[in-house]
Amino acid sequence: MKADALRGHLDAMILAVVKDRPLHGYAIAEALHARSDGAIELPTGTLYPALRRLERLGYLRSAWDTVGGRKRRTYELTRSGRAHLVAQQQAWAEMNSVVSAILGTAPAT
């Protein structure tokens, strides 16, 4: 999947991945890859600026961890980030419904 297709949705996807537990950057990239069945493969030049932006916005907080003698930054969702994620999930559901209806891919009711 091209990076352009992710524009506007990447932040919500990152927040969704760290919703349940703190993760370091590489684990976030791996989780996005796994949850998308391999469709999303983020370069570090895309992921890390997004993580820093989400931290500046107050949606994520980070802390340094040492695992196996290696230091790595771990990110976790803040209360504000959780609220933002819920809002983004609702906005996506509405957008998905509208676009599906227009494209003729909405499930029959």
Amino acid letter, 53: R
Give the separation between CA 77 and CA 61, rounded to whole angstroms.
7
Predicted TM-score (pTM) of the model is 0.85
Domains and their CATH numbers in the chain:
3-103 (1.10.10.10)
pLDDT tens, N- to C-terminus, the chain (109 residues): 555 566 678 999 999 999 999 999 999 999 999 999 999 988 888 999 999 999 999 999 999 988 888 899 999 999 999 999 999 999 999 988 998 999 987 665 5
Residue 48 has a CB neighbour count (10 Å cut-off) of 15
